Amino acid sequence: MIDSIFELPEWAQFGLAEDVRPALKAARDGGSALVLATLVSVEGGGPRPEGTQMVFAPGIVSGYFSGGCVEGDIAGHAAACLSDGEPRTLVYGEGSPWPDIRLLCGARIEIFLERLSADDAALSALLDAWGGRRPVVYVSDGRARACAPALSPWPEAAVIKAYEPTPRLVIVGGDPTALAIAELGVKSGFETTLVRPKGPETPPPVAGVAYRREDPETALAIIGLDAWTAVAVATHDLDTDRAALKAALPSAASYVGLLGARRRLAGRLAELQAEGMPEAAIARLHAPIGLDIGGKAPFEVAVSVIGEITAMRYARASDSMSTTSPSATAGALGARRNSASEAAKTLTSEES
């Protein structure tokens, strides 16, 4: 291991950050050059997928590759890269020049390091797109780089990474379950907003959660429901639930879930149909909300909701399932709760 100006703390909280764009922005806004490290090759089932990144800048370390096996050594090479500006590829595992540094999983990984100045044009384009919730592709060979909605990589490019807008979560409600979903959403990396119509003027005591008090239609319109937004309706008020569903189901939101008893679902769907909601929009509803993990305590429900939204997001990325039939890859313990249209027809003896 080589000496490093980037001293890693004993507890690797820097590894909790999946998205390195906040760290990139912090370094850029501070006027600091930075080192962007990208995992460009994985062989043998490593702990992190290709495209995973870390950022090193004065006072900033964000992301992780192995959970402790190589990060300290990478920090040393990042310090050297920051100093001399030369891009480099690090190899760990088979063929590594550092055989004493091993990944416990036995994988072989390659990590590409590049130095970016605070005024780098591609970095600015990446952060501008992030702020505007626009997907882009970043391509770099370590000396030349570009970032745009669509790019054809050149032969020397070492990094080709697609960035999507930060996943967003909107919870409509204000009870302990809604608060638990909001808190877990923040911790899971979602831009999280709690909507509680006519709620208290004081915002919820959950760090990192935005708050709106308008009616659901107004609040959801202000927030803007794009393809990277999930909506969890959890108010226990039929009128508010219905208003939220009428706004969310026809939108571009990638996920809409409804908290509530299965035995009441058929009637709630019938009300939406009677008000002219298209069948295709109703079929997008996930109800009862979340994976069927068996628990009903606030954080148990929150785990099931975040789990379902996350499973849907990764499944869509791999084209492994549709948004209306999540049972195939959602990874639930046992059978998943049915989609809304199925649940309306399939009442168990316990719930009917």
If DSSP codes are grouped into helix, strand and coil, which group holds residue 84? helix
Give the model's pLDDT for residue 96. Answer: 83
Question: Tens digit of pLDDT for each residue in 294-332?
Answer: 999 999 999 999 999 999 998 887 765 443 333 333 333
Angstrom CA distances, 293 to 231, 296, 300, 331, stand at: 20, 9, 8, 10
Question: pTM to 2 decimals?
Answer: 0.86
Give the model's pLDDT for residue 263. Answer: 86
Question: Tens digit of pLDDT for each residue in 36-84?
Answer: 999 999 998 878 999 999 999 999 999 999 877 799 999 999 999 999 9
State the DSSP H helix or E strand holding residue 90, giving kind and residue range, or none if neither: strand 88-92
**Phi and psi of 71, rounded to 5°?**
-60, -40
Question: Tens digit of pLDDT for each residue in 104-142?
Answer: 777 889 999 999 999 999 999 999 999 999 999 999 999
229 close to 171: Cβ distance less than 8 angstroms: no
Q: What are the beta bridge partners of residue 310?
A: none
Other CB atoms closer than 10 Å to residue 157's CB: what's the count? 18
**Cα atoms found within 13 Å of the Cα of residue 243, Cβ hemisphere only:** 19
Task: Give me the domains of the chain, ranges plus CATH numbers.
Answer: 13-163 (no CATH), 168-343 (3.40.50.720)
Question: Tens digit of pLDDT for each residue in 5-20?
Answer: 788 888 989 999 899 9
Which alpha helices (H) appear in 253-321, and where do they start and end? 265-274, 279-282, 298-317
State the DSSP H helix or E strand holding residue 257, giving kind and residue range, or none if neither: strand 255-258
Question: Tens digit of pLDDT for each residue in 147-179?
Answer: 999 998 999 999 999 999 999 999 999 999 999
List the structure tokens of 54. 């870390």
Give the model's pLDDT for residue 106. Answer: 75
Largest distance between two CA atoms of the chain: 70
Among 201, 226, 227, smallest CA distance to 214 is for 201
Which residues, at least 6 apart from 217, have a Cβ–Cβ distance to it below 8 Å?
Answer: 243, 246, 247
Question: Tens digit of pLDDT for each residue in 179-208?
Answer: 999 999 999 999 999 999 999 999 999 999
